[in-house]
């Protein structure tokens, strides 16, 4: 069984993330969507909310698992006995940052490979931070996120 880990903060999960998950499922039998629980990083949604949203929007996707990690992703990968990491590339501006991460991970763990996947054009510009800003100003984000995520953002922002 070919497995891969798709790590990220998913704060919140977007249609772009889901597109990458679906593309990964064309290549791998099992994809572990690993939500980073990094207490040093300020997130909008709690780890529990991010996991719940991901489980909700990936239910029915055979071979997709949702989990959390609070270590280096390569340590998590070793613990799971998975040697492939998936990284999404939205725009060329993502490449420099993602390339640095991939090379650092390779230096720390040569046995773990990074695979870059590009989302579909219609979601390639979607970023979680931009969506939070638009939602906070009562903008329509319904075409960028699943409905359950839109409801959660509106609920959180309209307190």
All residues at 6 or more sequence positions from 112 whose CB lies less than 8 Å from its CB, including other chains: 74, 77, 78, 83, 84, 85, 105, 106
Q: What does the CA dihedral 121, 65, 80, 74 come to, rounded to 10 degrees?
A: 30
Tokens in use for 152? 């959660």
pLDDT tens for each residue of the chain, 159 residues long: 899 999 999 999 999 999 999 999 999 999 999 999 987 788 999 999 999 999 999 999 999 999 999 999 999 999 999 999 999 988 777 788 889 999 999 999 999 999 999 988 887 878 888 888 888 888 899 999 999 999 999 888 876
Q: Is the peptide bond before 105 cis (omega within 30 degrees of 0)?
A: no
Enumerate the active-site residues.
17, 41, 90, 128
- Please state the pTM of the whole predicted model: 0.93
**Which CATH number is 3-157's, of 3.40.50.2020, 3.40.50.10490, 3.40.50.620, 3.40.50.720?**
3.40.50.620
Asked if 33 and 10 touch (Cβ cutoff 8 Å), the reply is yes
Query: Residue 156 belongs to what H/E stretch?
Result: helix 147-157
**Residue 16 phi, psi dihedral angles, 5° rounding:** -65, -45
């Amino acid at each position: 069984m070919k497995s891969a880990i798709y790590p990220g903060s998913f704060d919140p999960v977007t249609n772009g993330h889901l597109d990458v998950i679906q593309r990964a499922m064309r290549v791998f039998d099992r994809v572990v969507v690993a939500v980073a629980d990094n207490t040093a990083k300020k997130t909008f949604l709690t780890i529990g909310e991010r996991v719940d949203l991901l489980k909700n929007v990936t239910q029915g996707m055979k071979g997709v698992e949702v989990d959390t990690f609070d270590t280096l992703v390569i340590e998590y990968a070793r613990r799971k006995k998975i040697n492939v990491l998936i990284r999404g590339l939205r725009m060329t501006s993502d490449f420099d940052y993602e390339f640095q991460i991939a090379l650092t991970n390779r230096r720390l763990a040569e046995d773990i490979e990074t695979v870059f996947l590009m989302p579909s054009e219609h979601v390639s510009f979607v970023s979680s931070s931009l969506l939070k800003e638009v939602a906070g100003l009562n903008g329509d984000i319904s075409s960028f996120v699943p409905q359950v995520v839109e409801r959660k953002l509106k609920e959180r922002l309209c307190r």
